[in-house]
Amino acid sequence: MAVTDERADDPNITYLRTDPDLPPVAIVDRSPMTVGKRILFAVIGLIGAVAWAIIALVRGESVNAVWFVLAAVCTYIVAYRFYARLIEMKVVKPRDDHATPAEILDNSRDYMPTDRRVLFGHHFAAIAGAGPLVGPVLAAQMGYLPGTIWIIIGAVLAGCVQDYLVLSISTRRRGRSLGQMARDELGAVGGTAAIVAVFVIMIILIAVLALVVVNALAESPWGVFSIAMTIPIALFMGVYLRFFRPGRVSEVSAIGVVLLLAAIVAGRYVGESSWGNDWFSLSPVALSWAIIIYGVAAAILPVWLLLAPRDYLSTFMKVGTIALLAVGILLVQPVMQAPAVSEFAWNGQGPAFAGALFPFLFITIACGALSGFHSLIASGTTPKLLAKEGQARIIGYGGMLTESFVAIMALITACILDQHLYFAMNAPASVTGGDAAGAAEYVNGLGLDGAPVTPEYFEQAAEGVEEASIVSKTGGAPTLAMGMAETLQQAIGGESLRSFWYHFAIMFEALFILTTVDAGTRVARFMLSDGLGNLPGARRFKDPSWRPGAWLCTVIVCAAWGSILLMGVTDPLGGINTLFPLFGIANQLLAAVALTVVTVVLFKRGQFRWAWIPGVPLVWDLIVTMSASWQKIFSDNPSIGYWAQHRDFVNARDQGLTTFKTATSSDEIDAVVRNTFIQGTLSIIFASLVLIVAVVGAYLCVKAVRSGGLPTTEDEPVPSRIFGPRGLLTTPTERRVQKEWDEFLHDHPPGSPPEPATTGGEKGAP
């Protein structure tokens, strides 16, 4: 379809045109690497190797955080340049002379070719959330080394591969969602199992994220006040955009951020006042109800009023805070307090989460290395904005590398904290007793490095951030905030700003978790009403503007995650301890679904030789999730197996005991019996759904090998009529072609057909 246009200046470069009247729409560059670049990459590789050696081998003295940053960044650069390029050449084979869905279906709303650098920001803001921050913090109980290796290597070989390949196959299917692609490629059974899995996983995700917020904000009037203030701020922004200045999004976001900072500052005085204490010191249960009610209200209110402005604020805060943390770490250059590998990696008795390194480290880190949830963004949302197939590498692979970097920073932040403090914050109240004296006794018994601590040590730490207590503040967010406050106060403002930075970090996490609660409830509601609409006599549910249906589904969805949230909050065993593994398993199982779809597509296309690229992470992920599920279901050790715990507590109840293990009343025993039953059942459902998907996938792969490939549901290519550079930086050749386009568009202003679109390139960019 394309006409090639070789120019005499360089035999390695081919220019592709789809219309003789238009400048080239694509460049095929086969130039070998220059000597300078080879030397550059060799140097980067060498620095990375030195950094890795120091992290892995130095013992006995503390390792500086800068080595972690160097090891990560050098590995990312080499992986992006070589491994991602290999995937591009051998598997994806992008065709920039073919139009993407964004170009074909351009409506200047949800479909539009977007500048790749802007889309990178959009994609990153959509995939980055609390997961990559919380998971690594919990994983830090096993020491810094296992987490660092998995976050970096896992991202390079698994997470980035998944995101990149899902993005590229969805781009060739008009931006279809993962659920739709599963149905198209895996058939009715596999597809339905995949869609049900996505729904159940979404519910558990919302519940666990809400639990993280509850743990961070309970009994903290400062935190509750400032996060409550985000609601009126968002409403104000929504009204401002709707009625006063439509479209002035960065203007209103800047105002919103200023108000937000003012709310954090004001929170201190509210927290110190007696009325503020009365109003905003909420118990975990009261706070959970507040979040559930908020979830229902937020999902029923129109998007423009609450969700959209919150989303703008989240984007601002997310990018800003992560950049701030990176600068802080580089300026302060803190050293690790955690050991390289702790005994909890092997004995599986860690307080933050139970279970040994394999498989539970991989389950816990989840999003920072491989996140199934990204496949929901990389299909359905981002492909509709992708200007050129060739840009999928920087968006998909590059976006996930950035997320992995966020996870590394979270891990560093947790590992630079004093280990006594870390374990006092992350051990459940059932072992620390929830007070400073109990926490001191507990952590001094752990055999950590350094002198034993006194209860006053934890009281001072709490005073330093103006909290009533920091003991058993589980869930990762408070620990991260503590580490951020430690780093940032050294970089900016000193001791007097420590409590401000702590609450700033809490606010920033709570802000985008609440945005996820709202958005996730809407997505789950949509899936539920879509599913209900298939039942006979319930077709009306398919119509999203039918309000009673939408309300009913909202209440059902919020009741589902709300009950899991309340279960976690009141769990005598510690909610994070029991629920976080379920969340991690769910996320990794979703990744298994996405990687299965990708692998099946490769087999159907006949790319057997390269099917190991998604195949190896898929098999690894299945081994991890299935052995974790196996242990959660069948382990005899009650601290790991849900059903073993269930049996113990059922026996205790039958014997009429009123105290058993950490439960101190017969009500609490009943609660554990109920909770473990629900958790065990959910584990079985998750694992079964994914096994169905995997078996269907394996069957299709064998079938494809036997017949030498099978038809896929890829769309027929349409010739492209726009141009856009591939990488973040523009090459000199790309710049020349871009100049041709700029001149062409100048001579042929829009209005008279046939005209090409103007975006996707540099236009508008200074």
Partner 1 sequence: MGRLRRVVDAVRWYVGSLMGDHDYRRYVEHMARTHPREPVLSESDYWRGRYADQDRRPGARCC
C-beta of 628: minimal distance to partner 1 in Å?
17
* 335: DSSP letter: B
Phi, psi of 688 (to 5 degrees): -65, -45
Minimal distance in Å, beta carbon 715 to partner 1?
20
Out of 17, 242, 542, 721, the residue judged to bind partner 1 by CB under 8 A: 242
Out of 98, 116, 183, 374, point to the residue binding partner 1 (CB under 8 A): 374
For partner 1, the closer CB: 213 or 485: 213
With binding defined as CB under 8 A, does residue 380 bind partner 1?
yes
Cβ nearer to partner 1, comparing 259 with 308 = 308
- We find the least distance from the C-beta atom of residue 694 to partner 1, in angstroms, to be 22
User: Which phi and psi (to 5°) does residue 77 adopt?
Assistant: -65, -45
Range in contact with partner 1 (rule: CB under 8 A) among 60-68, 357-365, 520-528, 650-658: 520-528
- Give the burial class of 462: count Cβ atoms within 10 A of its Cβ; 0-12 exposed, 13-18 middle, 19 or more buried: middle
Contacts within 8 Å (CB) and 24+ apart, 702-707:
704/600, 704/603, 704/604, 704/606, 705/603, 705/608
Q: Would you give the distance in Å from CA 449 to the centre of its chain?
A: 33
Q: Are the C-beta atoms of 314 and 321 separated by less than 8 Å?
A: no
- Token representation of residue 599: 């692998």
Binding segment for partner 1 (CB under 8 A), chosen from 442-450, 490-498, 626-634, 753-761, is: 753-761
Nearer to partner 1, 162 or 587 (CB): 587
**Cα angle vertex 435, ends 433, 436, to 5°?**
125
Residue closer to partner 1 (CB basis): 210 or 431: 210
Judged by CB under 8 A, the chain residues 416 through 445 that form the site for partner 1 are: none
Question: Of 524, 426, 509, 438, which is closest to residue 475 (Cα–Cα)?
Answer: 426
Residue 63 vs 205, nearer CB to partner 1: 205
Sheet holding 26-29, edge to edge: 3-6, 13-17, 26-29
Residues 6+ apart with CB under 8 A from 256: 233, 234, 236, 237, 309, 312, 313, 316
Q: What angle do CA 512, 366, 624 make, to 5 degrees?
A: 160
Q: Tell me: does residue 686 bind partner 1 (CB under 8 A).
A: no
Residue closer to partner 1 by CB (options 490, 758) is 758
Residue number, 210 or 263, with CB nearest to partner 1: 210
From the list 25, 26, 127, 324, which residue makes contact with partner 1 (rule: CB under 8 A)? 127
| Closer by beta carbon to partner 1, 591 or else 602 | 591
Encoded one letter per residue, x for contact with partner 1 by CB under 8 A and - for no contact, window 160-199 reads ----------------------------------------
Q: Which stretch binds partner 1 (CB under 8 A): 302-310, 346-354, 417-425, 557-565?
A: 302-310
Q: From the list 233, 340, 376, 511, which residue makes contact with partner 1 (rule: CB under 8 A)? A: 376
Quick one: 671 or 722, whose CB is closer to partner 1? 722
Give dist(CA 729, CA 107) in Å, integer: 27
- C-alpha–C-alpha distance, residues 211 and 290, integer Å: 12
Q: What is the dihedral of CA 223, 224, 226, 229, to 10 degrees?
A: 170
Long-range contacts of 468-471 (CB under 8 A, 24+ apart): 468/219, 468/220, 469/219, 469/434, 469/435, 469/436, 470/421, 470/424, 470/425, 471/424, 471/425, 471/429, 471/432, 471/434, 471/435, 471/436, 471/438, 471/439
Residue 531 sits in the site that holds partner 1 (CB under 8 A):
no
Candidate segments 126-134, 142-150, 404-412, 666-674, binder of partner 1 by CB under 8 A? 126-134
Choose which of 50, 308, 335, 657 interacts with partner 1 (CB under 8 A). 308
Nearer to partner 1, 49 or 303 (CB): 303
DSSP 184-196: HHHHHHHHHHHHH
721 binds partner 1 (CB under 8 A): no
Out of 266, 303, 555, 684, point to the residue binding partner 1 (CB under 8 A): 303
Tell me whether residue 50 or residue 118 sits nearer to partner 1 (CB atom): 118
**b/e 372-397 (16+ beta carbons within 10 angstroms → b):** bbbbbbbbbbbbbbbbbbbbbbbbbb
What minimum distance in Å lies between the beta carbon of 765 and partner 1?
Answer: 6
User: Least separation, in Å, of the C-beta of 613 and partner 1?
Assistant: 23
Residues 6+ apart with CB under 8 A from 404: 72, 76, 132, 151, 152, 154, 155, 156, 159, 160, 368, 369
Contact 423, 214 (CB under 8 A): no
Which lies closer to partner 1 via its Cβ, residue 184 or residue 755?
755
Strands 26-29, 3-6: pairing kind: unpaired
Residue nearer to partner 1 on the CB measure, 375 or 430: 375
Token reading at 555 = 């209440």
> Least distance from C-beta 412 to partner 1, angstroms?
20
Stretch that binds partner 1, among 369-377, 609-617, 682-690, 711-719 (CB under 8 A): 369-377
Distance in Å, CB of 210 to partner 1, minimum: 11
Nearer residue to partner 1 within complex by CB, 376 or 613:
376
Q: How far is the CB of 74 from partner 1 (least distance, A)?
A: 26
Where would I find the beta strands (DSSP E) of 7-91?
Answer: 13-17, 26-29
Span 550-589, contacts to partner 1 by CB under 8 A: 583, 587
From the list 102, 425, 510, 519, which residue makes contact with partner 1 (rule: CB under 8 A)?
Answer: 519
157 backbone dihedrals φ, ψ, rounded to 5°: -95, -20
Residue 34 binds partner 1 (CB under 8 A): no
Greatest alpha-carbon span in the chain: 90
Site for partner 1 contains 248 (CB under 8 A):
yes
Tokens of 444: 């001094």
Closer to partner 1 by Cβ: residue 187 or 246:
246
Q: Least CB distance from residue 370 to partner 1, whole Å? A: 12
Backbone angles phi, psi at 5, to 5 degrees: -145, 85
Q: With binding defined as CB under 8 A, does residue 151 bind partner 1?
A: no
Tell the smallest beta-carbon distance from residue 125 to partner 1 (Å).
8
- The one among 479, 515, 554, 599 contacting partner 1 by CB under 8 A: 515
**What whole-number distance in Å separates Cα of residue 95 and Cα of residue 84?**
16
Applying CB under 8 A, the span of 40-48, 305-313, 419-427, 450-458 interacting with partner 1 comes to: 305-313
CA distance 223 to 502: 10
Q: How far is the CB of 124 from partner 1 (least distance, A)?
A: 10
Torsion of CA 730, 369, 586, 88, to 10 degrees: 40
Q: Does 11 bind partner 1 (CB under 8 A)?
A: no
Residues 93-122, interacting with partner 1 (CB under 8 A): 106-110, 112, 114-115, 117-118, 121-122
Do residues 7 and 25 touch, judged by C-beta distance below 8 A? Answer: no
Angle at which helix 498-532 crosses helix 477-491, to 10 degrees, equals: 140
Does the footprint of partner 1 cover residue 129 (CB under 8 A)? yes
Site for partner 1 in 632-661 (CB under 8 A): none
146: preceding bond cis by omega (within 30 degrees) = no
User: In the bound complex, what is the minimum distance in angstroms from residue 720's beta carbon to partner 1?
Assistant: 16
Q: Which of 631, 622, 563 is nearest to 590 (CA)?
A: 622
Name which position in 241, 406, 470, 710 contacts partner 1 (CB under 8 A).
Answer: 241
Neighbours of 199 (CB within 10 A): 19
**Contacting positions for partner 1 (CB under 8 A):** 106-110, 112, 114-115, 117-118, 121-122, 125-131, 205, 209, 241-242, 246-251, 253, 302-304, 307-308, 311-312, 315, 366-367, 371, 373-374, 376-377, 380-381, 512, 515-516, 519-520, 522-523, 525-526, 544-545, 583, 587, 750-751, 753, 755, 757-759, 764-766
